[in-house]
Structure formats: C-alpha cells, structure tokens
Amino acid sequence: MSTYVALGDSYAAGVGGGDRVDTCWRAERGYPVRVARAAGADLSYAACIGATVADVRETQLAALSAETGWVTLTIGGNDIGFTPVLVAAASPAWLNDSTDDIDRALRVLREELPDRLRLLYGEVRDRAPEATVVVTGYPRLFAAEDCQLVTFFTRSEIERLNAVADEIDALVRSLSDAAGFGFAPVRDSFSGHAVCDDEPWIHGVSLPLEESFHPTAPGHDAYAASVLRALELEAGAEGKEPVVTRVPSRGSAPVFRLPDLTGRRSRQGAAEWGLDPDRMADLAQHLDPVAARSSARTEDAAAELHAMHRQVLDRRGLPH
C-alpha cells in the first residue's frame, strides 16, 4: 500500500490544534492526520516544530521512498526567522525596533530561500518519484490592529508582517508550480480569521507559548480542506484509521516567547528613553497571557505600558 509522508514545520506538525503528542508536537488535529484518513493511507508523520529546510533535508527526507504515494510539505517560515521577528515586533519600543529584523527576514526570503526550496523540492522528487506532492502556503497572521494586552505590535509592524507572509506565500506557490507540485492555498480561507478578528483561526499569545501565532483547531481544519482539494480527495471521506508513524526528527528554530520586560535590558531601554524603569518593571509583573482577558489589574497595567510604548515611539520617530 502507498504511504503518505507529511514533511515540514510546526504548521504541518499541528501546533495549536490540540495536545502535544511528542517533542515535535504532531497533534491529532494536524492536517496530515485528516489527509491520511481521507486517502485511506498510513501516515509517516515527519513534520516537526521548529523545522527549517535544512532540518527537513537532514532528518525528514529519509521517510520518503519509491513506495511513497503522497507527500505534503509546509516549510520556509523558520528559514527567514519569522518567530524571532514576531518576538521583536511584539516588544515595546524601549526594548526593540523591529525594522532591522524584518529587513533581515526579507533579505533571506529574497536572496537565499528560493535556492533552498528548489534544492529541497528536487530532493523530494528524487526520493519519491511516483508521489503526488502538494506544498502548502501560509496565511496572514494579523488583523488591522493588535488587540492583545501583552504585545506591542504597531500598525506599521502588522502591515509589514502581513506583507512578509504574502511574499513567502507567493514564493512557495511559484516554486512549487515550477517543480510540478500541487499547491494548497490558505490565505483566502483565513481572511477574516486572523489574530484579533471576531472569529480567529490563528492563536494570539497563548499558553503553552509555543501555540502562539499558530492555527487553532478550525485553522488546521482549513489547512486540511485545502490540501484535500489539491490532492483531489473528498473532504468528508473517511477511509481506514491510518497507522501513524512518528518519524524521529528535530527542529532547530526557536519557538515564540514573550519579551522580558523586567530584565536589565528592558530597564536600561526604559531609562534611556525617559521612562521610569522601576514603574515599568512593576507594571510588567502584572501582565499575564491568560489573565489578561479577565483581570482588571492586568488591563490597567497593560494600558499604562502601552501609553509608555507610544511615548517612546514618538520620541524615536517611529510609526505607530
């Protein structure tokens, strides 16, 4: 029987879609499990949180063979350092200016990632010559404004981050087409379901923090639906329950973390830009990604910290 191999990063590993199964995550709500059921195929689940193109080549491609019937691949975001960029942009203005981080990500996206992906796609075809291969895109993460109390994304940063997501999505589509692979688009499906939309399919800051800025369970369902369309499989079809083999692998990219507002670097930045560092650090101790929705004390602390953030943006001449 032909097998199905799922390659890629945390979006393919189901992060955000349910409980962690192993160190790579591989939640049961991840789109590869849904695809395997519809295909009636056993699943070699190689995708792993933190995976880069190099990680896929080093630790995941061994799952492919001449008997592989289907391959899906979600990869590229970690290569451009999208998670560190998110951490930088989530930081207040006295701690970080994300301009250089986003510029650096764009340079890698434009100058290095195309060749990395071409090489990877060629190796996938060489190892699984008879397989139907589908590459997935990436969604925009953000609505127009940041509604979260514990992050400090400006409108300008949100616009740039969404533009980066659009650009990597377009690159992946173009190169997958050139390789003769199918493409599963998700950007339009996620429209109206970004972080801070009324019905988000992307987690904002969450616990565990690794789930932050990953699809929710409905978001992973949207991924599955797009992949199934690309594979020309029936979304409602249920074959035999697949045997899922979780391939040992590792991802080298960092996971999301909140900026440390109480540390020395934050205190120094606050003082440098005319803020009271002790007051800032005291307020920061009241921020909590869970209690933020229900604690009046957290809301008050966040409001004052965001006012400080806007003051520093003005003093640095940065856009809001």
| pLDDT per position as a tens digit, 80-100 | 999 999 999 999 999 999 999
- Residue whose pair of structure tokens reads 């987690």 in the numeric block: 203
Run of H or E including 83: helix 82-90
In a domain, 256, yes or no: no
Is residue 183 domain-shared with residue 114, that is, in the same domain?
Answer: yes
In a domain, 184, yes or no: yes
> pLDDT tens across 272-282, in order?
999 999 999 99
- The reported pLDDT for the residue numbered 288 is 67
> pLDDT tens across 114-126, in order?
999 999 999 999 9
pLDDT at 290 over 60: no
In a domain, 30, yes or no: yes
Domain count, the chain: 2
Quick check: helix, strand or coil at residue 260?
Answer: coil
Q: What is the CATH number of the domain that holds 55?
A: 3.40.50.1110
Q: Domain range for residue 176?
A: 3-246
- The reported pLDDT for the residue numbered 184 is 97
In a domain, 69, yes or no: yes
Is residue 206 domain-shared with residue 281, that is, in the same domain?
Answer: no
- The reported pLDDT for the residue numbered 292 is 45
Is residue 102 domain-shared with residue 166, that is, in the same domain?
Answer: yes
Is residue 190 domain-shared with residue 308, that is, in the same domain?
Answer: no
Instruction: List the beta strands (DSSP E) in the chain.
Output: 3-8, 42-45, 68-74, 132-136, 182-184, 244-246
Is residue 203 domain-shared with residue 236, that is, in the same domain?
Answer: yes
In a domain, 258, yes or no: no
In a domain, 252, yes or no: no
In a domain, 289, yes or no: yes
> pLDDT tens across 38-91, in order?
888 899 999 999 999 999 999 999 999 999 999 999 999 999 999 999 999 999
In a domain, 283, yes or no: yes
Query: Mean pLDDT, the chain, as a whole number?
Result: 92
CB 259 within 8 A of CB 68: no
> pLDDT tens across 232-284, in order?
887 665 666 777 888 888 788 989 999 899 999 999 999 999 999 999 999 99
Give the residue ranges of DSSP H helices in 128-263: 155-178, 217-231
- The reported pLDDT for the residue numbered 227 is 96
Task: For the chain, give percent helix, strand, coil, nearest 5.
Answer: 45, 10, 45
Is residue 172 domain-shared with residue 306, that is, in the same domain?
Answer: no
Average pLDDT over every residue of 167-175: 97
What pTM does this model have?
0.92
Average pLDDT over every residue of 141-163: 94
pLDDT at 1 over 60: no
**CA 198, CA 195: separation in Å to the nearest integer?**
9
Is residue 168 domain-shared with residue 276, that is, in the same domain?
Answer: no
Q: Decide which of 219, 246, 273 is a domain's last residue.
A: 246
Is residue 239 domain-shared with residue 270, that is, in the same domain?
Answer: no
Which residues are designated catalytic? 10, 214
Q: In a 10 Å sphere around its CB, with 0-12 CB exposed, 13-18 middle and 19+ buried, how is residue 207 labelled? A: exposed
